[in-house]
Amino acid sequence: MIDAPFIEIEDLYFSRGDHEIFRGVNMTIPRGKVTAIMGPSGTGKTTLLKLIGGQLTPERGRILIDGEDVHRLSRKALFTLRKRMGMLFQSGALFSDLDVFENVAFPLRVHTDLPDTMVRDLVLLKLQAVGLRGARHLTPAELSGGMARRVALARAVALDPELILYDEPFVGQDPISMGVLVQLIKRLNQALQLTSVVVSHDIKETLSIADYLYLIADGQVVAHGTPQTLDTNQDPRVSQFIHGAPDGPVPFHYPAEAFYSDILGGAPMTKLG
């Protein structure tokens, strides 16, 4: 069912300090589909996107994008590869010294020799698609978090990339722009034949647009499949996440010593007086 993968992740290991984030992750991300990577907060979903984008280097294993090993490319080849990718950051990460229009125009100006009039048309088209054509003269500081994310989306697709990486696209969106965004990701994917990777923990929205899902927890892929197969998956870790149970095999608490002994037996009591 997975044909011609665009991204292949093989036996990926990564840690930060003593904290192991990935322990042997394997994934194949199909071309032209929306693949969602889900998992509880702190499982390293954003880290995974940074590994795919070549900003972090794994300790073991490799990541192939369209057959090229991301971490074996020269710096120059890596930057060339990145022209074929767009990434939507959680914060938007707009350039604060440029206004909305120039932010979206930035990739066009640095990577193409298009005349100004054409850059203008393209930028306005992209801004129209995210509903912010009227906001073109605002600076990033004047935008709300949700608007900034939409401008960032327009910027990410400015060069019509083949791959878009979405880092938590639904966080902090109001219901209307959330709906718009869900539609936008889906439409973009169909219209431009993109490969999309969506990292998210918003289950409902993600299930509605994803063609394929990977669920990661404890540094490993715990389940993968289409939204339908995951919905009926009996693995307690999967059903806990998909159905949103507060505690279960995936603990709510960060690892700590037992609550009572921590509270009662912690620091020695200081004498009063």
Stretch that binds another protein, among 66-74, 102-110, 168-176, 256-264 (CB under 8 A): 102-110
Residue 203 binds another protein, judged by CB under 8 A: no
Closest separation in Å from C-beta 207 to another protein: 27
Instruction: Confirm or reject binding of residue 145 to another protein (CB under 8 A).
Output: no
Burial of 40 per CB tally in 10 Å (0-12, 13-18, 19+): middle
Interaction of residue 91 with another protein, rule CB under 8 A: yes
Q: Which stretch binds another protein (CB under 8 A): 81-89, 231-239, 243-251, 252-260?
A: 81-89
Work out which of 16, 19, 60, 83 binds another protein, going by CB under 8 A: 83
Q: Is residue 9 a contact residue for another protein (CB under 8 A)?
A: no
Of the ranges 13-21, 103-111, 229-237, 238-246, which one interacts with another protein (CB under 8 A)?
103-111
CA distance 95 to 109: 14
Rg of the chain (C-alpha set): 21
Task: Give residue 62's Cα distance to chain centre.
Answer: 19
φ/ψ (deg, to 5) at 212: -145, 145
How many residues can be counted in the chain? 273
Task: Work out the number of other CB atoms within 10 angstroms of the CB of residue 166.
Answer: 27
| Min dist. Cβ of residue 201 to another protein (A) | 19
Query: Could you tell me where the DSSP H helices lie in 92-235?
Result: 100-111, 116-129, 145-156, 175-192, 203-209, 227-231
Q: Is residue 85 near another protein by the rule CB under 8 A?
A: yes
Is 181:151 a contact under the CB 8 Å cutoff? no
Contacting residues toward another protein, per CB under 8 A: 50, 53, 55, 75, 79-83, 85-87, 89, 91, 93-96, 106-107, 109-111, 152, 155, 165
